[in-house]
Amino acid sequence: MQTNIINGREVAAALQQEVAREVEAIRVRDGSAPKLAVILVGEDPASQIYVRNKSRMCGKLGILQDTILLPDTATTGQVMQKVEELNRDKSVNGILVQLPLPGQIDENKVTQSIDPLKDVDGFHIANAGKLLMGIDGEFVSCTAEGIMELIRRTGYDLDGAVCAVIGRSSTVGRPVSMMLQRQNATVIMCHSHTRNLKELLRQADVVVSAVGKPDLIDGSMIKEGALIIDAGISRVGGHLAGDVDMQSCMGRAGYITPVPGGVGPMTIIMLMKNCLKAYYLQQQMQAGQ
Ligand code: GUN
């Protein structure tokens, strides 16, 4: 069997062009542009890289961006105060607090203090709850949305398909499982306590893995022709590794995403799309007032 490699970089590049065109149209029409504010607390090197990448992508697409740096000694109250300032700031459309936060900060309190209409990460319960209840909402997790976009573009019919989602994080596993169910897939949620992962995986037409354990899955564990989405990221000896041993899946999987170059590039472009959405939402709100 021929395995198709899903090129996330190519899909993301096409979406970048679409977003850049839309931002330019806004600039011509409104004389303004969407603006994202990113709060980075402390000096975690991985977070610094992620924030820099987001900032560069904003610059590339014409989205305005502000990075607010807070010291790693900041308190929950201080971060929330900054969020509330940004909630009130009419020039800011999207707010993102880079996770993880230093241990002394209550992450839930901070993410729940973001105005749901500016919550471009989709972490606020008003947005996550709508996804759970099957109500069309404003924002969903960028990685989950990116995964769904990659699956959509393969043309794979999810109706009735058995999908194994590995990992129950609120950023990837849980939202993606809800989105797959909305497409009429039968979803098997697997996690660290799952006893018979191998047996469950063998039944799966689609596998979405978001754990962060290199080589968790190999070719002998998957169903012939399966669509494999690898959203795991680990650092192994200076390289990035996914959850899937891609080599052993070649010739057995129908489709597979590489790491890097699969799901990763999709997350950031979905964030940019959410910034556009936030801009339109706030334009509507202001027009209605
Ligand atoms: N840290 C790692 N991934 C994410 C993400 O999607 N959003 C935020 N805010 N922080 C992250």
3-state helix, strand, coil in the chain (%, to 5): 45, 15, 40
Q: Which atom of ligand 1 is nearest to the CA of 96?
A: 9
Contacts 24+ apart (CB under 8 A), 220-225: 220/248, 221/197, 222/249, 222/252, 222/253, 224/1, 224/252, 225/1, 225/253, 225/254
Quick one: pLDDT at residue 140? 97
Quick one: pLDDT at residue 210? 97
Distances from the Cα of 76 to the Cα of 41, 206, 244, angstroms: 11, 40, 37
Ligand 1 binding site (Cβ under 6 Å of any ligand atom): 96-99, 121, 142-143, 171
Cβ atoms of 201 and 208 closer than 8 Å: no
Q: How confident is the model at residue 231 (pLDDT cuts 50, 70, 90)?
A: very high
Phi and psi angles of residue 165, each rounded to the nearest 5 degrees, phi first: -105, 125
Q: Which atom of ligand 1 is nearest to the CA of 141?
A: 6
Predicted confidence (pLDDT) at residue 215 exceeds the cutoff of 80: yes
Residues that are catalytic: 54, 98, 121
Look at ligand 1, atom 3, and give the residue with the nearest C-alpha. 99
**Percentage of residues of the chain with pLDDT beyond 90:** 96
Q: Which of 25, 7, 8, 6 is nearest to 269 (CA)?
A: 8
Distance 222 CA to ligand 1 centre (A): 29
Quick one: pLDDT at residue 286? 87
Cα 68 from Cα 74, distance rounded (Å): 12
Alpha carbon 57 to chain centroid, angstroms: 15
Per DSSP, the residues of 162-229 read EEEEE---TTTHHHHHHHHHHTT-EEEEE-TT-S-HHHHHHT-SEEEE-S--TTSB-GGGSPTT-EEE
Question: What are 166's strand-pairing partners?
Answer: 190, 209
Per DSSP, the residues of 130-161 read HHHHT---S---HHHHHHHHHHHHHT---TT-
Question: pLDDT tens digits, residue range 157-189?
Answer: 999 999 999 999 999 999 999 999 999 999 999
Look at ligand 1, atom 4, and give the residue with the nearest C-alpha. 99
Task: State whether residue 82 is helix, strand or coil.
Answer: helix
* Mutation pick for ligand 1 pocket among 40, 99, 233 (CB with most ligand atoms within 8 Å): 99
Cα 243 from Cα 253, distance rounded (Å): 15
Question: Average pLDDT of 75-79?
Answer: 98
Q: Which atom of ligand 1 is nearest to the CA of 171?
A: 6
Look at ligand 1, atom 2, and give the residue with the nearest C-alpha. 99
Distance 209 CA to ligand 1 centre (A): 17
* Mutation pick for ligand 1 pocket among 97, 171, 172, 268 (CB with most ligand atoms within 8 Å): 171
Distance 162 CA to ligand 1 centre (A): 28
